[in-house]
Amino acid sequence: MLFQQTSIIGPTAAIISAVVCYVIVLSVYRLFLHPLAKFPGPKLAALTKWYEFYFDLLKGHGGQFAWEIQRMHEIYGPIVRINPFELHVQDPDWFDTLYAGNPTKRDKYPPAASMAGAPLGTFGTVEHDVHRKRRAANSHLLSTRAIFDAQPLILDQVRILSDQFERYLNTKEIIDLRVTFLAFTTDTITRYALGESKDLQENKTLAVDWSATIRAVARITPLMKQFPWMMTVALYIPIDILRFFMPELSRLVQYHAEMRAFAERFLSQQQASQEKPKIHETPSNMALFQCISDSNLPVHEKSAKRLAHEAVVVISAAAETTSRALSITMFYILSDPQVLRRLRDEIDIAMPDYSILPSAKALEELPYLVATVKEALRISAIITSRMPLMAHTELAYMNWKIPVMASRTFLFCNRETGWLTHYKTPTSMTIHDILLDSNIYENPHNFNPNRWLGEDSVPERYFVPFGKGTRMCQGMRYAPATIFPFGRA
């Protein structure tokens, strides 16, 4: 009996001892021997990513780590080690260094790239060179020329929105601007990029349900960031089971399935047709997929899965960010009689005929309207998510040298390169820190279009609602083109 007890206790004790030794060795390494050990920050954050997990998923309603990073900077200064592998910098004048343009190379930190559950899309691409090719493939869709050609399509959706507002006015019904504008922006981008509208503006029930889906995507994002494999696993779980246990994740899975259906339909149509339509002639006929199909990307980069991943991000990002900007614009304009009066006077003088909706190009020539839209984009773009990138060369901030090989990440890139091992230091900044910097913007929480007018206007280098550099948001031309016509409507 004693021998049996010893035989059981022996392996158990060995396992426990091994685990304890591993934790001790790992702790010593991360706190004292790691390449980032010299950087300031909380020791617990340097020790484990569970620190970030707690603030993003457990504390309050979640998503609190951004505010904890703010607290870290208040204590430790402008550069902080926020987890075992990542640094965060709070200095608007260093933004151009981290988010530099070509030929500078920046990889995206894999956990951040996987937030949308679409690693094959441009947004979810880690490697710089692969990202550049994918971005170039769909760049025509969001080019100035293509968006200009799509103005009639955008104005049609604006007219539907204008008619809807008139109906609400006549019936005295309360408007939920978040749902209303999201329906408008979603119908616009799906009509433009996928060739057909979701018709949310005509169906309030569908609009409310879609709004719930977008909110679910936002809430599930911190979880996806902590567990990048979750979306891959979720796709294999029956939707009814997933809906019961994780309703928010089930909405994201259904959204992925919807975009996959669009992609498969496009490929089926393409296979059945010998003649390809030209993108500049039919900008609304599944234009997103056609751009990628007509590109020089290899065949495996044009699969239904990759097309679907691209659509997942393009549709949700274009719809949600633009609708948020519109909601905020409407709120602040109606809340400030002086802004409303000045805006009306400028538009009335330039375009006295209310029956004609002007183009975005004509509206872009109105300085106060432009300033109002810029201020709306500044306020609405104050996202708290940081944007970690990994430089290919050593970076310098003040007296600090940010090493290249500070963390190891295993990454499946694509069929050509397979699994890669990255040894780079993820370094991040937050747009929120720049757009609300009181040293740049006087009373930054106030909505003030005048800050963009005159000789004393805010320098353009600090207007970063779309980010900067090679990872800059591709919708920087599309969003204003959608917002400007609304100003006249």
Q: pLDDT digit string (tens) for 53-75?
A: 999 988 877 789 999 999 999 99
21 is in an annotated binding site: no
pTM of this prediction? Answer: 0.89
- 408-419: average pLDDT: 46
Listed in sequence order, the residues at least 6 apart from 83 whose beta carbon sits closer than 8 Å to its beta carbon are 45, 46, 48, 49, 51, 52
Q: pLDDT digit string (tens) for 245-260?
A: 999 899 999 999 999 9
Share of the chain above pLDDT 90, in %: 61
**Average pLDDT value for the chain:** 87
CATH class of 137-385+434-488: mainly alpha
Q: pLDDT digit string (tens) for 128-171?
A: 999 999 999 998 898 989 998 998 999 899 999 999 998 988 88
| pLDDT for 111 | 87
List the chain domain ranges. 1-33, 35-94+388-428, 137-385+434-488
| pLDDT for 322 | 92
